[in-house]
Amino acid sequence: MNTISYSKFLSEAVKKAREHNIPIAGSFELTPLCNLDCKMCYVHLTDPSVRERMLAGDEWINFMEQAIEHGMMHAILTGGECLTHPDFKKIYMHLIEKGIFVRIKTNGVLLDKDMIEMFTEYPPYIVDVSLYGCDSESYIAVTGHDVFDTVTANICAAIEAGLHVHLMITPSAYMLPWVDRVMEYAKTFDVEDVLVNAILTEANQGTNRRMEDFGLTLEENAKIHLKQWELFSRKPRSQVDEEAEFMGETPENESHILPKGLYCNGGRDSFAINWDGTMGPCPGFPRDVICADVKKIGFDAAWREVNRGVKDYVVPEECHTCSHNTKCHYCPTQHKSVASKHLCNKESCDWRKLQADIAEEYRAKQRPIN
């Protein structure tokens, strides 16, 4: 099945799964460790004690088996850098043998000949490679490592081998001097898709990273996204429009702020298991809002706790009266430091509103005049 028809099939399956609380998609953060050190990364930990607490391949496979029994059909392997997990190949092959659609998220450094050979024989559904620069200087500024040549050679080899490669770009203050060039450079690759991250999330505890250091201003964000829309076929869209392809259209002017519960599919039909075996609705979801320990209570109880948690979460008061609540839905991951108090982060709201307004303005310009 090609990626387009699979996406269509998936969006139908997602609707049904949500109705019946079936976790059809899971994200597995195999490790918080990484061979790069991106200055905006919300996951990467460097504390040596992490190694002792990380899960071995068999523990991951056990969780995955339980998830498959509950209906999981689609798995994302991420991190940190998932390709650095000592049992990566064993975990990957287990999923493949079970017939699971697997998507890999990688920085591309270890996407070498050997890995490409395995992926060619047993293909992942998609390989998302993050592109952190357009030359050595920008790579060092963002990731702390001069791996530009290695990553770009690996991307070319993966495309050449016929893998479904998507490129991911995460603009941050550290990439700012090169962002336009990184996007232009991404366009030169013959890949199926280039995705520019629309929003930065606050870093997890223990990463020693702060949004004040890596975040972008509204103006910088708007400029980057206008350039993105000029370069790539994806056109300006609000958050809600962007997600519609996965969640289905909702009637125009209907609020995405529910009286109780989160609107998004995280925790309704999908889950994320963090590197230490705790489950949340999606990667990076604030642990002080919803977090269940799969290691202690097993997949079934953890899934029920997460599913209940998203349905019971009370969204902030201000969302109910917000002028943009038909184009935005409250996402605790984007309001991480205040989500447990049921509050909004002003910067995040300002960007979501501006993003929706730009999309509206763009659509108005495109409308034919009668």
The footprint of ligand SAM (CB under 6 A) covers: 34, 40-43, 78-79, 81, 105-107, 130, 168, 170, 197, 200-201, 203
The least CB distance from residue 356 to ligand SAM, in Å, is: 19
Of ligand SF4, ligand SAM, none, which one sits near residue 78, judging by CB under 5 to 8 A according to partner kind?
ligand SAM
Phi, psi of 74 (to 5 degrees): -135, 125
Of ligand SF4, ligand SAM, none, which one sits near residue 349, judging by CB under 5 to 8 A according to partner kind?
ligand SF4
Binding residue for ligand SF4, selected from 41, 73, 175, 186, defined by CB under 6 A: 41
The least CB distance from residue 209 to ligand SAM, in Å, is: 7
By CB under 6 A, is residue 201 in contact with ligand SF4? no
Interstrand relation of 126-130 and 165-169 (parallel, antiparallel or unpaired): parallel
Helix/strand/coil for 256: coil
By CB under 6 A, is residue 333 in contact with ligand SF4? no
Helix/strand/coil for 74: strand
Of ligand SF4, ligand SAM, none, which one sits near residue 200, judging by CB under 5 to 8 A according to partner kind?
ligand SAM
By CB under 6 A, is residue 196 in contact with ligand SF4? no
Of ligand SF4, ligand SAM, none, which one sits near residue 37, judging by CB under 5 to 8 A according to partner kind?
ligand SF4
Residue 233 neighbours by CB distance under 10 Å: 7
Contact by Cβ (8 Å): 65, 57: no
The least CB distance from residue 116 to ligand SF4, in Å, is: 19
Tokens of 124: 């992942």
Nearer to ligand SAM, 107 or 278 (CB): 107
Contact by Cβ (8 Å): 53, 5: no
Tokens of 58: 């068999």
Nearer to ligand SF4, 10 or 257 (CB): 257
The least CB distance from residue 27 to ligand SAM, in Å, is: 10
Q: CB under 6 A: which stretch of 47-55, 179-187, 287-295, 320-328 binds ligand SF4?
A: 320-328
CA–CA dist 63, 303 (Å, integer): 11
The least CB distance from residue 36 to ligand SF4, in Å, is: 4
Binding residue for ligand SF4, selected from 204, 325, 333, 355, defined by CB under 6 A: 325
Contact by Cβ (8 Å): 228, 183: yes
Of ligand SAM, ligand SF4, none, which one sits near residue 353, judging by CB under 5 to 8 A according to partner kind?
ligand SF4
CA–CA dist 337, 343 (Å, integer): 9
Nearer to ligand SF4, 68 or 126 (CB): 126
Helix/strand/coil for 148: helix
Site for ligand SF4 in 140-169 (CB under 6 A): 143
Contact by Cβ (8 Å): 25, 75: yes
Reference 165, options 193, 146, 141; nearest CA is: 193
Q: CB under 6 A: which stretch of 30-38, 92-100, 244-252, 259-267 binds ligand SF4?
A: 30-38
Of ligand SF4, ligand SAM, none, which one sits near residue 201, judging by CB under 5 to 8 A according to partner kind?
ligand SAM
Q: CB under 6 A: which stretch of 75-83, 229-237, 243-251, 357-365 binds ligand SF4?
A: 75-83
Concatenated DSSP letters of 320-368: HH-TTTTT----GGGGTTTGGGT---HHHHHHHHHHHHHHHHHHHHHSP
Gyration radius of the chain's alpha carbons? 20
Angle, helices 57-69/294-312, rounded to nearest 10 degrees: 50
CA–CA dist 298, 46 (Å, integer): 28
Partners of residue 292 on adjacent β-strands: 279
The least CB distance from residue 22 to ligand SF4, in Å, is: 27
Q: CB under 6 A: which stretch of 275-283, 301-309, 318-326, 360-368 binds ligand SF4?
A: 318-326
Contact by Cβ (8 Å): 84, 53: no
Tokens of 225: 């996204």
Binding site for ligand SF4 (CB under 6 A): 34, 36-38, 41, 43-44, 79-81, 107, 143, 257, 318-319, 322, 324-325, 328, 330, 344, 349, 352-353
